[in-house]
Amino acid sequence: MRKSLLILFIGSLLILSGCSAKEDGENVKSGIRDQGSEVAEQKAEETNLANTDLTKKKLKQGNAAKKDRSNETKAPDFKLATIGGEEFYLSDYAGKVVMLNFWGTWCPPCRKEIPDLVNLQTKYNKDGLEIVGITLNSGSAAEIQKFADQKQINYTILTDFGNNETQAVTNLYGQAVGEPISSIPTTLLIDRDGYIVKGYLGARSEEVFYNDIKEYL
């Protein structure tokens, strides 16, 4: 996978000089009033400048905090079928943390990690986690549904519309990450902004997955 400030603070220093008056009563009082007005205006100006500088500072800090993601990989959108026969687009889960799991019902390591994926979906779906399983070479939607019911799978399971689209999506993601997805299970972690941030070849435990996804939830 392709991976990949100067905060400027301007301070204002206003030096106020006193004004002496050796005049009679009314002139002195007038001078005090004028001087008081001048000081108030200067203080107001100083406050405005300080507020402006703080605003600029916050804006620059905010811009500095934005991560440069030009070298990262966006997860390609795709269309597949759910095992219930509905259309599914990855873009439907925009703003979610997605674990995209390439798997098959015939694959022992895939079957082994299913309970961990079920637990993750149960615990963290409310926090924005969505697990999506792309099922490869596993028969009809009805057969996959039967398997999912037996394993009490509670996350989205996808299959073909009828023309081997799951393999096309697998190839698409292999191109995206720069490495063919030739073994399963393979899992890709996609953050809320739609970037692929982590990949796993082989089965992993609930603990391993959670330690990686918690910072994105």
| Domain residue limits, the chain | 1-72, 79-216
Phi, psi dihedrals of residue 216, rounded to the nearest 5°: -100, -15
pLDDT tens per residue across span 124-133: 999 999 999 9
70: confidence class by pLDDT, cuts 50, 70, 90 = confident
The amino acid occupying position 149 is: D
Q: Which residues partner with 200 through β-bridges?
A: 187
Residue type, 75: A
Answer whether residue 56 shows pLDDT above 80: no
CB proximity list for 26: less than 8 A, separation 6 or greater: none
Using CA atoms, how far residue 183 sits from 8, 12, 115, 139, 197, in Å, is 50, 63, 20, 18, 19
**What's the rounded mean pLDDT across residues 12-22?**
32
Count Cβ atoms within 10 A of the Cβ of residue 70 and give its class: 0-12 exposed, 13-18 middle, 19 or more buried: exposed
- Pick the more confident residue, 10 or 130: 130
Least confident range from 51-60, 103-112, 138-147, 156-165: namely: 51-60
Percent of the chain with pLDDT over 90: 67
In order of 4, 92, 200, the CA distances from 215 in angstroms are 18, 22, 17
Which is nearest to 94 in space by CA: 118, 77, 72, 71?
77
Burial label, 51 (beta-carbon count in 10 A; 0-12, 13-18, 19+): exposed
What is the average pLDDT score of the chain?
81
- Residue pair 89/98 in contact by the 8 Å Cβ criterion: no
CATH homologous superfamily of 79-216 equals: Glutaredoxin (3.40.30.10)
**pLDDT at res. 17:** 32
